[in-house]
Structure 1
């Protein structure tokens, strides 16, 4: 189908907002989910990152909700697991609200209460929130959910993984049984469905991506290495592959800070993002990366989901994630919107099991790659027999570095 936004049933006012947002043709998830949501159906949608899920729920939501007449009593509630996702959704809803005149407010942890409370008292139609801050405001009596017409749960599987589901049960219980529920996520599995099924009414299912599916535009490789030699290998990869528009994922907050410091001392323009940083610090780092003032972001999995940063050259998994699904979301930061992406994962002896679990999820082996300026043959031999078949190895000289037109080798240090 070659649908247009006009054919989906959206109003003229919403279509003008779509035009302002720069959308021309609906993505598959938008094409399938929007008409169902406009009908008032509960919708459960699974789609890869970067496929337009935010517009898929925000466009019909704007169409269906009324205006709130009581302070702190929104008509629509969007709950998402991280501050970064909340701010991204806020930007989209703010643009839409220019046409509908709905009032939008985002409440997240790490930000002062005073301004958020003042805006709640002035009235809000669309409330975007992270679970912790939302529940806190509910406990204080500052947010009432008995007028909710549309409830959106974004990245429900991630909220489950992060331990937010007990809080979300309380949030859902505070909303009317007559509400419409829209659930959007990158993946859906049995564990998620067991938790969400009780809150849904005859839902329509939209599945654009299956569990473990990664974008075809991302080339994936592993590099065996011992833990102690990861810093040297990282610098070698940056020197060989280029050091601009790079996201490096580390397993813990402490490791991300150490990695960022080592890169900074080596002369790279780098910043870090993790949960110990304030919302203002995280926003500054993300904005600096988006604007090219910072070339490398070192992050924990707080950045793995849903953040729409364009033209990320490649993702480097300095550490493999504990959860195999997070690997899919990490490498989804590159190769977005049809662009070619590149992902390299460092695999130490301690992370053999994690690699095995990731490959099981993907249903395929991830080939190894060599680079000309670093010899990791000892570590490679330790993994080759079980995890990295020799027949899958590729060398940097045989791999085209110019992954996008006009992009050549940039060199490493500044």
Structure 2
């Protein structure tokens, strides 16, 4: 189905075409019509299926078709757990709203608030925010949400994982009860669904793929390797397979930094991205990786949720996650938008239980790989 068939207005169609898109993804096809009709929506779709555009496009259309009651009021709020995701969503609004007079702004912690306040004072239609920074600026009296028309909770499962539910509940008490509410998530545990129904009104539920499934375009495999040999195996793969870019997952911030140093000693230049890095350092690492100035990026799970890179060919789980759904998010960085990708995992004896739980979740047994492969 094309975006034109979804009754998208010409200015957004022009922006979508300029970005190189013609056909809507499944989540966009199913979510855009009810959102345009003013319905509350719960959307569940795996990472890389176009969830952000599925709410950004109709929000831009709805706001552009209605004259605001207050010229400088914030009309839509998108709440998201990390600064990387906030920046990614902001980029989407820039892309699809390129030919519309709709202003948007991303605010997040980890940077001084001065520039964000300057932009807020100029007025913004769409505010994209992380919970902590939003509550902070609301407490300072810098943000007024009384005229809000649309509220979006993005990456709801990660919000729960990161302990943001109480912050979200506080924010819900500060916004109008008469509003349109949307919730999007890559997975839909029972806790998320129950929470959704506590603040959505008769929502349309959309689930376009089996919960926690992995993309068929991703070739998966596992190496059984003991901890002391993981580094040697990683170096071998990176050097012998001549992979253009590899995103490598570590469980901890310390482990990510340690791996960068170890790889550097072997002549492999890498950068790490995690919560202890400054915003500038994280953005530089991402830009260097996207532009092929470095071939290896090492990430923790929370930081990686905001990594949106076209045609990323390779993901390596240096350490398996102990939460099975996290594996789905990790390998969802590759094989996006129909492209093919490869995801390999290193499993030591201590992580065999984690591997078993992952394989149970995704519904198949990964092929065992050897160095000869």
Q: Distance in 1 between matches of 2:248 and 2:6?
A: 39
Q: Which moved more, 1:327-336 or 1:220-229?
A: 220-229
Instruction: State the 1:302 CA deviation.
Output: 2.4
Q: Distance in 2 between matches of 1:25 and 1:169?
A: 36
Q: Distance in 1 between matches of 2:262 and 2:244?
A: 17
- The answer (yes or no) to whether the contact 1:320–1:346 under 8 Å persists in 2 is yes
Q: Which moved more, 1:253-262 or 1:47-56?
A: 47-56
User: Mapping of 1:5-404 within 5 angstroms?
Assistant: 5-65=3-63, 66-67=67-68, 69=70, 73-372=73-372, 396=373
Q: Distance in 2 between matches of 1:35 and 1:92?
A: 19
For residues 348-400 of structure 1, the C-alpha deviation after alignment (integer angstroms, 9 at most, x for no partner) is 1121221121112112222210012xxxxxxxxxxxxxxxxxxxxxxx0xxxx
Instruction: State the 1:298 CA deviation.
Output: 0.6
Instruction: State the 1:312 CA deviation.
Output: 1.7
- The answer (yes or no) to whether the contact 1:68–1:123 under 8 Å persists in 2 is no
Larger radius of gyration: 1
Instruction: State the 1:243 CA deviation.
Output: 4.0
SS at match of 2:167: helix
SS at match of 2:345: strand
For residues 207-226 of structure 1, the C-alpha deviation after alignment (integer angstroms, 9 at most, x for no partner) is 11222200001111111111
Instruction: State the 1:125 CA deviation.
Output: 0.7
Unaligned runs of 5+ in 2: none
Which residue number corresponds to residue 391 of structure 1? none
Instruction: State the 1:306 CA deviation.
Output: 4.9
Q: Which moved more, 1:256-265 or 1:61-70?
A: 61-70
Q: Distance in 1 between matches of 2:180 and 2:77?
A: 11
Q: Which moved more, 1:213-222 or 1:332-341?
A: 332-341
Q: Distance in 2 between matches of 1:46 and 1:304?
A: 19
RMSD: 1.5
SS at match of 1:98: coil
- The answer (yes or no) to whether the contact 1:46–1:184 under 8 Å persists in 2 is yes
Q: Distance in 2 between matches of 1:69 and 1:361?
A: 48
- The answer (yes or no) to whether the contact 2:46–2:211 under 8 Å persists in 1 is no
Q: Which moved more, 1:208-217 or 1:300-309?
A: 300-309
SS at match of 1:310: coil
- The answer (yes or no) to whether the contact 2:84–2:305 under 8 Å persists in 1 is no
Instruction: State the 1:68 CA deviation.
Output: 7.0
SS at match of 1:99: coil
Instruction: State the 1:244 CA deviation.
Output: 2.6
Q: Distance in 2 between matches of 1:68 and 1:120?
A: 18
Which of structures 1 and 2 has the larger relative contact order (alpha carbons within 8 angstroms, sep 6+)? 2
SS at match of 1:209: coil
Structure 1's 96 and 322: CA in aligned 2 closer, same or farther, altered over 3 A? same
Instruction: State the 1:102 CA deviation.
Output: 1.2
SS at match of 2:219: strand
Instruction: State the 1:88 CA deviation.
Output: 1.0
For residues 80-104 of structure 1, the C-alpha deviation after alignment (integer angstroms, 9 at most, x for no partner) is 1111111111111123333221111
For residues 229-267 of structure 1, the C-alpha deviation after alignment (integer angstroms, 9 at most, x for no partner) is 211111122223224310110000000000011111211
Which residue number corresponds to residue 385 of structure 1? none
Instruction: State the 1:19 CA deviation.
Output: 2.0
Q: Distance in 2 between matches of 1:230 and 1:347?
A: 9
Which residue number corresponds to residue 404 of structure 1? none
Q: Distance in 1 between matches of 2:49 and 2:108?
A: 24
Q: Distance in 2 between matches of 1:238 and 1:166?
A: 42
Alignment length, in residue pairs?
370
Q: Distance in 1 between matches of 2:331 and 2:2?
A: 30
